[in-house]
A and B are shown apart, each in its own frame.
Chain A
């Protein structure tokens, strides 16, 4: 059994990876097996930082031969090192799973020795877990850049999700800050997995195998390098379209390491928040990256990206709640996907007015400037009034939100995302 000391080291090294979801897979239990995957994902606990625990997030080893400047586990750093054997990890997963503590395993590793050797050890753990321990729960495996192609496709046959972290949003920054990684070393395996998954999906009948059912994700560090939000969103959009990624995670940069090549100020959580809002607009609201922010532009801080877009495009508003098609409703600031679907359903039976919307729990503080109900408008014709009102609305929220997080001084000491 793994001891508490090593569990602590290996967990603390893994915790800065933001990905935590356990959704997207329908893997069923097998005869004599344990576990299954739940397609919507299940959160098993929440930590005092407000994040959920769904998977046992752990590194196989934090002894890294790479020296990425932003990473707390880089070769030169003076931190306690540890590693775990495949059997130790499997036993821990099964014991936790039986007690319903976790939904599965999130396995990552520092590059110990060569990428191939690291990937082999991770693959060994995963295969052992599936075949010897007959585990059918969720497994998220972090890909090691520059590991052999064959290892990558073998791993994908056993796990539910794989992810390669792009980390830095441009080739130039990657060369500067993570010299042992290249753009290709991350993007090529992503492309390979995308093509193999597509091919596996086209197989019919008996030959059809489960191949990476929950797809791929990636992570970008924001603020360690000078790229604009527009450029970052463009990159995310390209990855969503070309590799059918399920998610791009954004992690705001906080300096752990002092280095002349790195900024010594942390990126605000607000920027990260705005990027997530923009990301949602691309995935669920039918926005293009270009509409949200142009190549060299940053997202506005004062209000959310949808408000910003609406203010630039007032010619599309106001929309009539009782007749507007879904695509137009989705573009109204303050109306989310759930709200839009509710409106579409409800208006088939009765004409909706503002009080109906309020009763249906649709938040009107932003939306009222952009909609009419049965021809009635409760907003304002004056563009500047609208802009000020939206900014005030946002600011009151922002203050609330900031008070929930730590002060700037304490968050300075927070570590950053890892490999």
Chain B
């Protein structure tokens, strides 16, 4: 059995798919923590432009939607994301047609659910992300998403706050988006950075907490619903929850 190890990039995944698609009993993964089965033959894949292009071309021919779906799937923060994507591609290659509406097929059900987790989290963070004003007037927002969604939420904030310089920092993956009102760059960072806050930041956080307290109807507690909509793991950077 072959185990293809990719470096986690999209191109590297497509390169691995080139062989893995017809390699019946194989595993594709980018995770270093994966448990190798007995007698596994490890193949370290490096991105190959030609193989990658050929896979993409075929996908585009059979099922153009896949070129949007696969990058979403690869943003999932779980170890078997490549496997889910591989099964999905295999189905496309077998049917030679778009498969996204085959909603009772196991591969499509799995892929749809995983994609939904990514897009749902991205949507949630358009609401749950919290900026704080730095002393230089740059707004800083740290967050810890389960999936790699920085690039997905970035266009939303650039449209919305286009006249406000900001930094959105994924502290789990150690990467940040820097925006200076003209252009945006994504850079690798440390997992923790120190930010000096502006003088008024504390006052506004206090007002926000006051508002949060006041708007709640204390006589109708429904914590389970609150936690369902706003999972506890996202509370870390939300001032109203501290």
Contacts and interface: CB of A to CB of B under 8 A. Distances in A.
B65 to A, nearest CB: 13
Nearest to B139: A98
A8 interface: yes
A40 B119 CA distance: 14
A321 to B, nearest CB: 11
Interface in B191-241: 200, 203-204, 206-208, 210-226, 229-230, 238, 240
Contact of A99 (B126, B139, B160): B139
A52 interface: yes
A50 B220 CA distance: 9
Contacts of B106: 359
Contact of A7 (B164, B214, B221, B225): B214
A96 B212 contact: no
B109 interface: yes
B223 A349 contact: no
Contacts of B218: 48-49
Interface stretch (A193-201, A203-211, A340-348, A387-395): A340-348
B130 A99 contact: yes
A307 B217 CA distance: 32
B132 A48 contact: no
Contacts of B223: 48, 50
A43 interface: yes
B159 A36 contact: yes
A32 B156 CA distance: 17
A342 B224 CA distance: 28
A316 to B, nearest CB: 25
A410 B220 CA distance: 8
A45 B104 contact: no
Given A48-B216, A48-B222, A99-B131, A360 B109 contact: yes
A103 B139 CA distance: 17
Contacts of A405: 220-222
Contacts of A40: 123
A49 B109 contact: no
B96 interface: no
Contacts of A92: 207
Contacts of B103: 342, 345-346, 360
A50 B226 contact: yes
Given A15-B217, A45-B238, A34 B163 contact: yes
Interface string B126-143: 111111110000010100
Contacts of B222: 48-50, 404-405
B104 to A, nearest CB: 4
Which of A29, A47, A56 has its CB near the most chain B CB atoms (within 10 A)?
A47
A223 to B, nearest CB: 16
A29 B159 contact: yes
B215 A98 contact: no
Interface of B: 101-106, 109, 123, 126-133, 139, 141, 156-157, 159-164, 200, 203-204, 206-208, 210-226, 229-230, 238, 240
7 contacts: A7-B211, A15-B214, A40-B123, A52-B229, A56-B211, A98-B161, A99-B139
Given A34-B160, A345-B103, A350-B104, 19 more contacts: A2-B207, A7-B214, A12-B215, A34-B163, A35-B160, A38-B126, A45-B127, A45-B128, A45-B212, A48-B222, A50-B226, A57-B215, A96-B208, A99-B139, A349-B101, A349-B102, A352-B104, A404-B222, A414-B220
